[in-house]
Amino acid sequence: MASELLQTLRTADDLLARLQAVSAADPTPVVERTPYPAPAIPPRPARGLSGASVPRILLSLGALCLLVAAVIFLAVAWTWLGIGGRTAVLVGLTAVSGGLGVVLGRRGLRVAAEALTTVSLGLLTLDVIGADNAGWLGDLDTAELVTVVSATLLTAALALSLSTRLVATQLVAVLALSGLGLGVAATTERPQLVAALVVVAYAALAATTRRAGLEVLWLLAAAAGTTWWLGFAVSGLGEAVDHTTWRALWLDGHGYPFVVAALLLLLPLLVDRTHDALVRALVTVAVAMLTFSVSVPALDEGVTALALAGLATLAVWTVVAVATPTSWRSVPVASMALGALPLAGVVLVLAPEAAANALETTSPFAGSLGLRLDDPALAASPWLLAVGVAALVAALLALVRRTAGRVVAGIATVAAGAVGTLALHPVPIWVVAAALALIGVALAAVRRGPVEAGAAGAFLLAAGIIALPSAGLTALVAALVVAIAVAVRWRGEFDGAEEAGGLVLPVAAGALVWSALAATGVSAAWSGVPVLMVVGLLAIVLAAPEVEVGACAAGLVAAAGAVAAAGDPTTSLAVHLTVAGALVTASALVHPDRRLLGWPGGALLAAATWVRLADLGVQAPEPYTLPSAAALIVLGLVQLHRNPTASTRHVLGPGLVLATVPSLLWVLVDPVSSRAVLLGGACLTLALVGTRLRWSAPLVGGSAVGAVLVLRELAPYAATVPQWVLIGIAGTLLTVVGITWESRLRDVRTTADYLRQLR
């Protein structure tokens, strides 16, 4: 093919070359031609009825008229026509309309054929009803008459469908089969058997007509069969649930309808087995229904029996799922889910019971090491918690790709279920705490990864919570947590190990100190300071953000507990604030990169001073503010000495504000006092010093506070001044300002130059 294409292209090139040569030798004048006009776009047809719609409307209306005429004819002429005449008229009309429909359908006039065959089937219905009224069919009740009419229509519609392939006849055939089923069901005491037979009939009809090419008939038969199957399945399920004993289900036969419904679900495979997804879905639902039918007797035997039945179901189908190809894995998975439901329900009920039984013992540090758990009243066996969790985890691991992290998580979950089962028995609390702690240690020792470390931390935290009633047991658990936190921080092999270990270490260390002191009989009021010292020293030695955060949290909790337990809370609060402030300040002094901690350290120390002064009854602000302000000003002066170019607003501003503003607030309330005199003198001094040294902070601060102070001193006397004095003063000021405007511009420029030199 490639060689032929190449030869064709070469021939085309030769022809083009010859044409160019001929054009060069004999040039022909170019004749301008009018371009061929494009065909006009046909106008859009007007909207309205199409030609094909007219005969449909006319024939439908004609068929309706014929049926109505036939009914009227029978009503009017039935009394004066004899039996022979009536029979001849109805049979003749039925035969003529049916025959014409067949003939027209074979000639391609399908619309007319649909109308006439519909008329013929309607007349056939009237024929049967007329025969029943004439007594030819015996004494039929309504259900029997429906059965006979439906059977007659079904036979005729199927015959016409096979011969003409008309849509109307196919629709009538499907409806007639449903009518036949309803009629027979009403005349018998076994409606479920009738429903099953109708489902089989629809399946056979769909399979037969699909092979015959009757597309509409087999699709409608499949839809109608599905509807009948749903009704039959719901009925069978209700009967099985209402008779849950083994004898009633299988000896008395109340469970068989649901089993038959499950088997009937496979009938569509006789029609179409080419769609793999449909085949798998039908098989999956059928197998799940059969699995449920086997487990129904357990519904009436209690929670434990139901859970055991679910366990057996889950175990069997888990083994099947492991051996099943991936493409067919949905079949056992659905049945596994049915078995897992009762197990999961029992686990969800027993797990909170275990947690509540382990926690509701006594208040922290108020019990002994041998304190026992209660024996709760349970609806199911406590061992189902461990067994159920193990079975559920095994089923999940059998379905997913097993990685190291998933296996470890599964083992941890199974271990948690086992400990939960232990907590549902009246055992000593140390047994449960020890089990949790050992699991945590084992997880931390297996592999130092994030999953293992997280699981170990969760188990150890649970062990600590369970151990709270005993101070000694809590101390042992806290010691384990300290050891594991140290190992994770310095030997962890995953990202974030150092941060995780550093965060947990001070918290665990604080808990260890507190619980150890409580175990030795030390009052909680005296335990806060040792905890602060330990966690504070850890933060100073390690100097990492995560360690400092953990230390802050542990210290805050310890201090709050100690202050709450102290006989003199105010003194205790001052002591704890002093210790905390000293530790934070020490960290700022020891580590150059922690200088910012000086601010919270100073604030803690100042707060300690304020608390102590408040306890002594000091009401004035200066004893609280001036020591801290003096310290800040001294630090600012030292900084200015080291760095003469530093801004005074940054290094001196906080100290000056703390030294003046609190006193100013007091003066605003009581302007006539010695405090006002001293504050005014201080503001004047600051303004003069700032002017002399060209420091903006004392100049601006002293001037601003002094201005507010002067205005406050003026306020009591402003109301007693006559109005004409105020008006005169205002006029004088305006006059002076207007006269000296130009000269003041020069002063403003001079002042601006001066201020720019300030630092």
Q: What is the pLDDT of residues 479-518, one digit of tens each?
A: 988 988 888 888 777 777 788 888 899 999 999 999 988 8
The answer, yes or no, to whether residue 616 has pLDDT greater than 70, is no
* Residue pair 229/285 in contact by the 8 Å Cβ criterion: no
Q: Which of 556, 355, 369 is nearest to 471 (CA)?
A: 369
Q: In the prediction, which pLDDT does 93 show? A: 65
Gap between the Cα atoms of 598 and 712, Å rounded:
36
In a 10 Å sphere around its CB, with 0-12 CB exposed, 13-18 middle and 19+ buried, how is residue 458 labelled? middle
* Residue pair 470/482 in contact by the 8 Å Cβ criterion: no
Does 108 or 567 have the greater pLDDT score? Answer: 567
* Residue pair 183/154 in contact by the 8 Å Cβ criterion: no
> 193: part of which helix (H) or strand (E)?
helix 191-212
Gap between the Cα atoms of 614 and 309, Å rounded:
71
Q: In the prediction, which pLDDT does 71 show? A: 54
Express each pLDDT in 403-414 by its tens digit: 777 888 888 889
Q: In the prediction, which pLDDT does 553 show? A: 92
> 230: part of which helix (H) or strand (E)?
helix 215-242
* Residue pair 543/587 in contact by the 8 Å Cβ criterion: yes
- For residue 534, how many other CB atoms are within 10 A of its CB? 20
> What is the average pLDDT score of the chain?
78
| Distances in whole angstroms, Cα of residue 296 to Cα of each of 167, 318, 336, 344, 524 | 45, 20, 15, 18, 59
Which of these ranges, 113-117, 233-237, 692-696, has the smallest mean pLDDT? 113-117
The answer, yes or no, to whether residue 118 has pLDDT greater than 70, is yes
Amino acid at 568: D
Express each pLDDT in 185-202 by its tens digit: 888 888 888 888 998 988
Q: In the prediction, which pLDDT does 34 show? A: 44
State what percent of residues in the chain have pLDDT above 90. 5
Express each pLDDT in 264-321 by its tens digit: 888 887 767 777 788 888 888 988 888 888 888 887 778 888 888 888 988 898 888 8
Q: Name the band, by pLDDT with cuts 50, 70 and 90, for residue 57.
A: very low
* Coil vs helix vs strand at 560: helix
Gap between the Cα atoms of 122 and 130, Å rounded:
12
Q: In the prediction, which pLDDT does 506 show? A: 92
Q: In the prediction, which pLDDT does 729 show? A: 54
Burial track 582-621 (b if 16+ CB lie within 10 A, e otherwise): bbbbbbbeeeeebeebeeebbebbbbbbbbbbeeeeeeeb
Which of these ranges, 670-684, 687-701, 709-723, 734-748, has the smallest mean pLDDT? 734-748
Q: Name the band, by pLDDT with cuts 50, 70 and 90, for residue 96.
A: low
Q: In the prediction, which pLDDT does 552 show? A: 92
Tokens of 316: 């069997």
DSSP 62-131: HHHHHHHHHHHHHHHHTTTS-HHHHHHHHHHHHHHHHHHHHHHHHTT-HHHHHHHHHHHHHHHHHHHHHH
Does 9 or 367 have the greater pLDDT score? Answer: 367
Does 251 or 392 have the greater pLDDT score? Answer: 392
Q: In the prediction, which pLDDT does 707 show? A: 81
Which of these ranges, 25-39, 393-407, 738-752, has the smallest mean pLDDT? 25-39
* Residue pair 554/511 in contact by the 8 Å Cβ criterion: yes
> How many Cα atoms sit within 13 Å of 664 on the Cβ side?
22
Express each pLDDT in 576-613 by its tens digit: 888 888 888 888 878 888 878 877 887 888 787 777 76
State what percent of residues in the chain have pLDDT above 70. 77
Q: In the prediction, which pLDDT does 645 show? A: 83
Site of tokens 């092999």: 493
The answer, yes or no, to whether residue 558 has pLDDT greater than 80, is yes
Gap between the Cα atoms of 61 and 57, Å rounded:
6
